[in-house]
A and B are shown apart, each in its own frame.
Chain A
């Protein structure tokens, strides 16, 4: 994810950016206003010709992938069952409100501020002891009083009545101390369950915790307190609902599993560039908490490499790991490969086995560095150095496991241009040119690292309501913000929806240029992985846009083999105790469940209008989409070739008719339409409320030649292929 989003979110200067970030991670409501349909969009009937004899490369299941990183507490809140924040006591414990901290806890991810520990009893009874800490740099020492309980407390926990919670706590203390742990769900004296800890000793000892909540609450608390004459230390503690699945939330994991996302790219992201992966393996209670300067967030490292592998297994996706090529080096990356893929006879493989995982994970997809091209990236260096670094990483990683598929972190001129990278290296012209030795990042990798990767990656984020303007960018002073080239865009609903698909199309145009320059890309089957992308909103409107994005990627299956939306849990709406698919989740599930995998040619009599702006920045030379304006259509046969499926996006507010001519196969028999639409263009799904965006299954008799597509909808038609 790019720094622009971070910066704006942090400064909270731009509500739009904050909104972007929220929806990318699947949280807050989108308040955008629907606009009028494009003139000329409705009323006329489009003809669409589908030629099933013209088949393109299959749609890879990896095109439905998701990207997720430890952006603040995102993964902990959405996927992990831990209920205690800062369980390793990274932050000091005080009753005072923190002063405006230079480093903020929690990062920009809204609603994910960490719950803080507070002293029970006088502040000065709690001291962060840096001498022989249990984990990290400090453990709280609580001075006891014989009469008044002293201790620590954390509130803000969501509890469900009758639900069981279990965990553990590590304590040491003066023998004779009386220490109690209480789970509290209300203000009354009986609104709690208290566990009395057995005798403490001078060495840390683990004690089990087990509670049943007596009531529903969103502000439960956990309190550890004691009385006595000496003191006690809390090493660490953990509490999870007992129905957790190997530490994960059963509800979100089950929903995600049903998306069949193919792969997840993880665990970063900007996060990866200052992260030491060695800190995330071994005894989960002994892994040090660290501060991530990319997202300004403390990380407990509970959800580490082995847990990520468990997660991928639980949700049925292939892991795709990005190694740290920011502050990290080739040796550490190679050891990471060895940890995951090495036999138990290797140094790192043996460590994995010792950590309880003798079977190698055989992780296939590996990415060297996250967005190394961006000046926001920790350890960002010049292209001429990064290509050398990439080569060193590739050699070291392949030496450990020659079977891995390596992805180089590219960035084509559109991304480099809209992110204002030329100015960061002293180039005045905002438009990046192919072959530029400083700022054509993908070109640099092709020129200097060929042979050291199998695929190239690309990231894009389309700003809601904005567009890059070349003339404006040209007028900027050298020290203007990197994203200063954006101006407000005046877009119709259809243009708004079309915008991100145009970005996909731009990538395809640029790819063709690289192929022209480096024909060896074809011989070596170099592929493109758009493994971070995002657009605004969690509403029906943005779902239409994502649908066009998918359709556009399916038009380029010859080289687009992987893709991952940001963030992978942005398909869900969730709170601490529940989760549902949001409209984007509904969309991805719709495609995965019903759309075919063998793309066939679509032509038509209504070309998409040409782009409104010259082809600078992210503006393509030609428009994305099918010649079925205003509709967007792709068609594919199912893998068994028994059905022809057609995906149709109607991003207008009126019903649209189209005539369908199918050649190459004969379709007949009872057909089905799965229609995604919502109450309004702004409709969203939220946990605990009725779904406003959903898919309806509609039986269609025969194979009609004229079809009507509902306004603001995504339709997938399935026609049986005769003779199959």
Chain B
């Protein structure tokens, strides 16, 4: 994940996410530099005519094109995927009755993922964070007992569902004779609770099971651990999950995600650059909690490497792991490969077996570092050093497992990511960036040949903004490069087209490398766009804003555009995997974005692209080239204002056609098919709604759904509904020869 550094907080090394900048811009940017909106689009022919030639094919659409990216951004994964109900269950933070003061470093990271706190029950001074022989991490709470008044700790804010069973465990030690109780409390009444009496404590930690059944729904239930007696007791750690969890994961969200054919999940972003992976394996209760300085958040390390593998199995994706090349080194990366892929006869493979997983995972995709080119990256270093580092990592990792596929963390020509003093050199003209100290992809191609199989690229963009060249030229050296973002008025179609143009720009840049390094073509070095997002921030529905129909239209165009370059782009990973669902603590639903990926994953993964021509070219880019969001030539198909993409199913039995209509008008298209004869019952899967901001929210009636309809024989003309994403499937009567 990419973000920009803000130096306002000295202690936490606080960074501000690039995506948050976009949000801020969307809400508050009053720039008058805004370009004039072009409300009237270019002329559209009276009748759109499209020809599909099934004889002209391209390499199949990779099953990895619909992949997703995930990382521990604060509690992102815990809040959506993991079933643990208790926060700070390893007592990283002190327990106090006071509210933390505002200047304290954030505990849960960005996106308002606050960590619920433990508070003393009874007098505050009865609870001391004992640093002597802690159960896990640096401290364990010691509670001084009183013979009459219960002393202990409590955490409120738990969500419960009536009649649901909850189970867990607690590690306790204490003065023999202490009387300790654990209660789950769902109301104010005396009987609105279930209390477990713990058997005799000893001076050594002992594990005690917890099991409760909620007798009411609650969104602010409390767990309370209290005792009476003469001495004191310590709480090592505790855990509570709904009893229906699957290996620690939520059944609802994982089963929703499993319905989407995503191919792979990439694990690792900024968080990775400070991650000590050794801390996320082994006994889950003994893994130390760590503070992640990338996102300013505490991590319990519960959802570690073995758990990620369980998740991948649950949601039916292949794992793709980024190793820490920020603060981490090649030896640790090689040991991580050995932990995942080594036989039980290797040192690390034996540890994996000891942790309950004797079979090697055979993780294929490995990425060296996350965004090492970003000033925001923990441990970032200069290109010249990172190239050496990459080579060292590659050698060490491949020595452990020569079969792995290595992805280099590239960055193509980003003139919004060069030192301020060099901006003027590159703004408005990307070409001089090739081969410069800020051309990371070029650096890998020049200095690391043979040490990678794929090169990665990331991009983020937000609707309603454009990085303006003229403004960029005028930015003071001490000002952020994001100051060149100007608010622009966009038609719906322009909004939807915008991110696909960035994909197009990436392809143009890649082709520039292919000219400079012809061996890339011979060796078929592909591009993995393994982080990307188009932020909307219309509010509601997930950490990055509402994944409404408007957003879905834009993403459908992104997916179509990536599929137009199957010779180049073989992997894609959207930020983040859990952006495909809307969820709260007890329930979830697939949102508009999830529905788009479901449609495409179901029909286009493995499909064979065929040539599609039309009589209505896309208008040229709205702004001059030389900005990181403007290609030389527009993305899309020559079917303006529609975006269309056609392919054959892998078995050549069907022609499938995607049509995105990002206008408020119904459109008619004449279809003519060359190279195949279409006949037989056809099907249309359609995602639309009667309003552009329709979205799916958990707990509310869905406003978006994929509608499947039979449309009889393949028609010679189709009518495309306004604001809709459509996938047609036409049977091929006589398969192409």
Contacts and interface: CB of A to CB of B under 8 A. Distances in A.
Nearest to B5: A384
Contacts of B278: 331
B293 interface: yes
Main secondary structure of the interface of A (DSSP, over half): loop
Interface residues of A, number: 29
A34 B732 CA distance: 96
Contacts of A389: 327, 378-379
Contacts of B381: 379-381
Interface stretch (B73-81, B153-161, B384-392): B384-392
Contacts of A306: none
A293 interface: yes
Contacts of A324: 329
B330 A331 contact: no
Contact of A382 (B293, B380, B421): B380
A276 B378 CA distance: 21
Contacts of B329: 324, 327-329, 331-332
Contacts of B7: 384, 437
B236 interface: no
A254 interface: no
Given A388-B13, A426-B420, A327 B330 contact: yes
Interface in A672-686: none
B419 A426 contact: yes
A107 to B, nearest CB: 16
Interface in B270-309: 274, 276, 278, 293
Given A331-B276, A332-B332, A293 B327 contact: no
B382 interface: yes
A396 B420 CA distance: 37
Interface in A475-532: 478
Interface in A365-394: 375, 378-382, 384-385, 388-389, 392
Nearest to B386: A379
B331 interface: yes
B375 to A, nearest CB: 8
B328 A378 contact: no
Interface in B10-28: 10, 13
Contacts of B675: none
A278 B392 CA distance: 13
A392 B388 CA distance: 23
Contacts of A278: 331
B123 interface: no
A465 B330 CA distance: 42
B477 interface: yes
Contacts of A426: 419-421, 477
Given A332-B331, A388-B293, A380 B382 contact: yes
Interface string B84-95: 000000000000
A379 B378 contact: no
A330 interface: yes
Given A331-B278, A332-B329, A426-B420, A381 B388 contact: no
What is the size category of the interface that chain B forms with chain A?
20 to 34
A277 to B, nearest CB: 9
Contacts of A274: 388, 392
B212 to A, nearest CB: 37
Contacts of B477: 426
B385 A379 contact: yes
A392 B276 contact: yes
A250 B95 CA distance: 62
Contacts of A381: 379-381
Interface in A255-305: 274, 276, 278, 293
Nearest to A277: B331
A389 B477 CA distance: 28
A293 B389 CA distance: 11
Nearest to A276: B331
Contacts of A380: 381-382, 385
Interface in A318-371: 324, 326-332
B700 to A, nearest CB: 43
B385 A276 contact: no
A517 to B, nearest CB: 15
Contact of A331 (B274, B326, B332, B375): B332
A305 to B, nearest CB: 14
Contacts of A382: 375, 380
A447 B381 CA distance: 22
Nearest to B333: A329
A326 to B, nearest CB: 8
B262 to A, nearest CB: 31
Contacts of B330: 276, 327
Contacts of B327: 329-330, 385, 388-389, 392
B696 to A, nearest CB: 40
Interface of B: 7, 10, 13, 274, 276, 278, 293, 324, 326-332, 375, 378-382, 385, 388-389, 392, 419-421, 477
26 contacts: A274-B392, A276-B330, A276-B392, A293-B388, A329-B328, A329-B329, A329-B332, A330-B327, A331-B276, A331-B331, A375-B382, A379-B379, A379-B385, A380-B385, A381-B379, A381-B380, A381-B381, A384-B7, A385-B13, A385-B326, A388-B293, A389-B327, A389-B379, A392-B327, A426-B477, A448-B10
Closest 10 CB pairs of A and B: A329-B329, A328-B329, A329-B328, A332-B331, A331-B332, A379-B381, A381-B379, A385-B379, A327-B389, A381-B381
Given A378-B385, A382-B380, A385-B378, 4 more contacts: A276-B392, A327-B388, A385-B326, A389-B327
